[in-house]
């Protein structure tokens, strides 16, 4: 059975999930700060076993981003990602100020575009929107 929890993910669980999907290693300090500064975190468990998470970052008024939507390989294809994303979207919709539009954005991992399109996201660039861009700051 799938269960979702809100704002209960600890730093070790976060680092474990990142590792299980082969994402870039973070320091424990980075991970702690990332979780502390998140607006909302959803954790997924299948039969009590941690299998995924997603979090929202942003200003809560004009723009929110889906960040770190993770589903471990063993749980993929079992609607875990869809359940997490739906809960994240509901949260952001609840923040939206009446009679306004809020941007709900993400940067998806290569090859995952169809999952997000299925959930209503559009790929950039479009006729009116340029491509997403990134800069890595190192030091």
Q: What would the pLDDT profile of 84-127 be if each residue is shown by its tens digit?
A: 999 999 999 999 999 999 999 999 888 999 999 999 999 999 99
Strands 63-71 and 103-106: parallel
Predicted TM-score (pTM) of the model is 0.94
Q: What would the pLDDT profile of 38-70 be if each residue is shown by its tens digit?
A: 999 999 999 999 999 999 999 999 999 999 999
Q: Map out the domains of the chain with their CATH numbers.
A: 2-118 (3.40.630.30)
Per-residue confidence (pLDDT) for residue 139, from 0 to 100: 79
Question: Which alpha helices (DSSP H) does 65-135 contain, by range?
Answer: 80-95, 113-118
Task: Measure the CA angle with vertex 87, ends 126 and 15; round to 5°.
Answer: 90
Query: Residue 23: which residues within 8 A CB-CB, separation 6 or more?
Result: 70
7-34: average pLDDT: 97
Per-residue confidence (pLDDT) for residue 110, from 0 to 100: 87
Residue 10's pLDDT band, with cuts at 50, 70 and 90, is very high
């Amino acid at each position: 059975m799938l269960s979702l929890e809100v704002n209960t993910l600890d730093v070790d669980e976060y680092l474990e999930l990142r590792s299980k999907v082969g994402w870039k290693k973070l320091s424990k300090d980075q991970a702690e700060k990332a979780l502390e500064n998140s607006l909302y975190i959803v954790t997924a468990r299948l039969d009590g076993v941690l299998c995924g998470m997603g979090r929202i970052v942003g200003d809560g008024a004009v723009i929110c981003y889906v960040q770190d939507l993770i589903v471990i390989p063993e749980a993929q294809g079992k609607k875990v990602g869809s359940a997490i994303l739906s809960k994240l979207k509901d949260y952001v919709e609840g923040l939206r100020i009446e009679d306004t539009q809020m941007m709900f954005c993400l940067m998806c991992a290569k090859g995952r575009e169809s999952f997000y399109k299925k959930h209503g996201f559009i790929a950039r660039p479009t006729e009116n929107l340029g491509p997403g861009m990134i800069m890595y700051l190192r030091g």
